[in-house]
Structure 1
Amino acid sequence: MNDHDSLQAATATVLAEIARTDAKAGTLLSTVSLPLAALVAVLPGRDLPGPVTGLVALGATGLIAAMLTVLAVVRPRLTTSTRGTFLHWANSTPEEITADLADRPNAAAHLGELSKIVTSKYRGLQLADDITTGALALLALALLGDVLL
């Protein structure tokens, strides 16, 4: 396998990872929205003890924070204009695009940019998962408190 083939294979791998993070983000967004929807359906008009209300408020805030974090993960990144990317090509002439595609070092720069994107997405998913776990723990404590109080 030559260097060009290796770069193409690596780029395909990183693009697949980006697609995986977006799929995981969709799953996490759905997962986070279910308990939040349950809270909206069950809580109005209920008189909860003060500590339980506080735990529910913290848990709901955590779920909303997790949802916002997931949305940041899937938000398109339009800030880079590295050669070899569609953002660069959007402001290029056809001749510049052709020259850019023929220049193999651009493929390595493009791979680097894609790798930064996928790393950022995974970090965001980890954070959203951690926030969701904490929020659900608070809601479980609130449920336990409501049963015991």
Structure 2
Amino acid sequence: MSTDELIAAHAEVKAEIARTDSKTGLLLAFVGAVMAGAWTTAKDLPLTLPAYLVGGAGLALLLVAAGLALQAVRPNLGGGRGFILWATLTPQQLVATTETRDLAADIVGLARIAVAKFVLLRRAVDLVLAAGAFLLVAALIVLGGAL
């Protein structure tokens, strides 16, 4: 692989991490809005026990999804790499470190971070979809008086 290809791959992986973080931020905002809306709606309705149970399960899933999303964007300050390492170096040490930098190793490390973030985001989205189903069933129970 040429140096230009390595630089392009490095930029692509960094951009993927940024996209995943942006998507995660949107998901967190959506989950917060759904939880607030569900709570506001539910507190003013006469709910039956089945509606409480199903709706509570939906809200619990949303809470777990929010936790996964937060984990996906949680900064990793360990490892002594990247800007955290740079903050501990003198200017001369920084130059020496960047001259011996292995771009391929950086790409592999960043790609692993991107995949880990993507997996957490995907699980969070799956939980939000499941929570939506629970909340929909709870709404149908309330509206239809079922169960």
Tell me the TM-score normalized by structure 1.
0.89
How far residue 58 of structure 1 moved from its aligned partner, in angstroms, is 0.4
Counterpart Cα distance in 1 of 2:120 and 2:83: 24
How far residue 44 of structure 1 moved from its aligned partner, in angstroms, is 1.9
- Where does 1:1-149 land on structure 2 (aligned, <5 Å)? 3-82=2-81, 85-104=82-101, 106-149=102-145
Q: Percent identity?
A: 34
How far residue 45 of structure 1 moved from its aligned partner, in angstroms, is 4.6
Q: Secondary structure at the match of 1:43?
A: helix
Higher relative contact order (CA 8 A, sep 6+): 2
Q: Which moved more, 1:85-94 or 1:122-131?
A: 85-94
- 2:129 counterpart letter in structure 1: T
Counterpart Cα distance in 1 of 2:104 and 2:75: 21
How far residue 67 of structure 1 moved from its aligned partner, in angstroms, is 1.2
Counterpart Cα distance in 1 of 2:137 and 2:43: 19
How far residue 143 of structure 1 moved from its aligned partner, in angstroms, is 0.8
Deviation beyond 4 Å, 4+ runs, structure 1: none
Counterpart Cα distance in 2 of 1:110 and 1:94: 21
How far residue 91 of structure 1 moved from its aligned partner, in angstroms, is 2.0
Backbone CA RMSD of aligned residues = 1.5
Counterpart Cα distance in 1 of 2:96 and 2:8: 22
Tell me the TM-score normalized by structure 2.
0.90
Counterpart Cα distance in 1 of 2:88 and 2:33: 42
